[in-house]
Amino acid sequence: MSKLRLAIVGAGPAGIYAADLLIKSEMRDFEVSIDLFDLLPAPYGLVRYGVAPDHPRIKGIIRALYEVLDRGDIRFFGNVQYGKDITLEDLKSHYNAVIFATGAIKDADLNIPGIDLDGSYGAADFVNWYDAHPDFPREWPLNAKQVAVIGNGNVALDVARVLAKLPEQMLSTDIPANVYEGLKSSPVTDVHVFGRRGPAQVKFTPLELREATHIEGVDCIVYDEDFKYDEGSQNAIDTNNQTRVMVNTLEGLREEPQNTGAARRLHLHFFSAPVEVLGEDGKVAGLRIERTELDGTGNVKPTGEFHDFDVQAVYRAVGYFGSELEQIPYDSKHGVIPNDGGRVLAGDSVIPGVYATGWIKRGPVGLIGHTKSDALETINNMIADRETWWQPTNSNEATVVALLNERGVEFVGWPEWLLIDARERELGEAEGRERIKLVDRADFLAVAKG
């Protein structure tokens, strides 16, 4: 075969890395032509729509992804919905193979009583609101003085930090006016973050922890009873530099408490397993936790000791979950596409020409580095499978554009994205900021059409 026509569904880091790694692969002895499709009119996936806007390192990641797409050897088709605007049959008739890199944007469930009360939210929905995702409501109910965030990962800390931070501190970011006004209206005084295990088992990264514990105008409070270590904990501290840094950061807060009398406080609670969201008149009125204790291995067991906290809102940040795709097998227990090294499986059989990478392949774990190695595995397996690829009947690159136009799909190509990108920068420049995000699809398309 002299040329591979490849479709990638999902233009976040996983999809972009897969495209870039294929182009640079030393295993490749054929030409490639890659089309990248995304449901959104913007590229970059969770880097744009899943990370808090006040993270400076996002800019570096987006810059790297931008440079890959700006080379001109990968075509971008934004605002195209797989299963509706383009189907699996369409892909088979235009490409030799497809890689699904659709990620995970839904919240994982937390099955405790009261989780469905008014005032109980999924963290992912809140993130999509403050990151200006075009498919989520423009308003968010920020009316609680005391808030609980359940989870001990980076998303939990992001959510807690955005809730606790003074709204004017967010004005240097790319948030649109509706997000700033929403945060400005919040009467919040206390944000409580609850983790089931101890300080040596947190899933934060050191940078996120430092950011959360040093917010101007916010006191970060920890509790003496939460600082316990068993043999498993001590082993983690001794052998893992990241764990050691985080424990030292938390111990520092314990030794030198932040007692400035700030109007807002961020509380970090450990050994606290949520067991019930308490309600009153159908609304959140509190959170009941059960204290846990270490079992010697670094894991925890319940103690039978319960505490109630007065809160009027609860955010669960217990993980992301992948969504089902039309005509593609789905593991509903784990929220992934069943696969073997990226080769998509129907039962025990490999489906020719269909691959997966990123969180929809392995679940919502790992950082950017994992996404690259993950994509490399999928790409290498796909190259090894060249004898089983599809034989398309319409492999000409122009026929995909004609198909989308014929169906009235208002897709956003890379040249159109550059117009949108310039418009967001223009909006930001007027207010002394790097950019201000567009929110509505109609606005994206209006700028794309010039």
Domain count, the chain: 2
Asked whether residue 435 is domain-assigned, the answer is no
Q: Is 445 contained in some domain?
A: no
Q: CA-to-CA distance for 174 and 300, rounded, in angstroms?
A: 40
**DSSP calls for 236-251:** HHHH-HHHHHHHHHHH
**For residue 440, is it within any domain?**
no
Q: Establish if 171 belongs to a structural domain.
A: yes
First to last CA, the chain: 40
- Whether 69 and 165 map to the same domain: the answer is no
How does DSSP classify residue 203?
-
In whole numbers, what is the pLDDT of the chain averaged over residues?
94
At residue 409, does pLDDT exceed 90?
A: yes
My answer on whether 229 and 301 are in the same domain is yes
Domain boundary among 289, 320, 351: 320
Same domain, 311 and 329: no
CATH number for the domain spanning 122: value is 3.50.50.60
CATH of the domain at 388: 3.40.50.720
219-248 confidence digits (pLDDT tens): 999 999 999 999 999 999 999 999 999 999
Above 70 in pLDDT, residue 333?
Answer: yes
Based on the domain organization, do 244 and 285 belong to the same domain? Answer: yes
For residue 315, which of 179, 64, 117, 75 has the smallest C-alpha distance? 117
- Asked if the structure places residue 442 within a domain, the reply is no
8 and 117, same domain (yes or no): no
Asked if residue 14 is part of any domain, the answer here is yes
Domain that holds residue 192: 106-320
- Both 125 and 86 in one domain: the answer is no
The last residue of a domain, from among 320, 337, 357: 320
Task: Assess whether 83 and 221 both reside in one domain.
Answer: no
- Of 281, 225, 223, 285, nearest to 254 by C-alpha is 223
Question: pTM of the prediction?
Answer: 0.93
Domain boundary among 320, 342, 362: 320
pLDDT attached to residue 273: 97
Q: Is the pLDDT of residue 59 over 80?
A: no
Pairing of strands 146-150, 190-194: parallel
Instruction: Say if 443 falls within a structural domain.
Output: no
- Residues 281 and 192 grouped into a single domain: yes
310 and 331 share one domain: no
Provide mean pLDDT across the span 281-304.
96
Residues 262 and 327 in one domain: no
Confidence check: pLDDT of 1 > 60:
no
Contacts for 83 with CB less than 8 Å, ≥ 6 apart: 325, 326, 327
Residue 261 lies in a domain: yes
- 118 and 186 belong to one structural domain: yes
Co-location of 145 and 274 in the same domain: yes
Give the residue carrying structure tokens 């890689």: 99
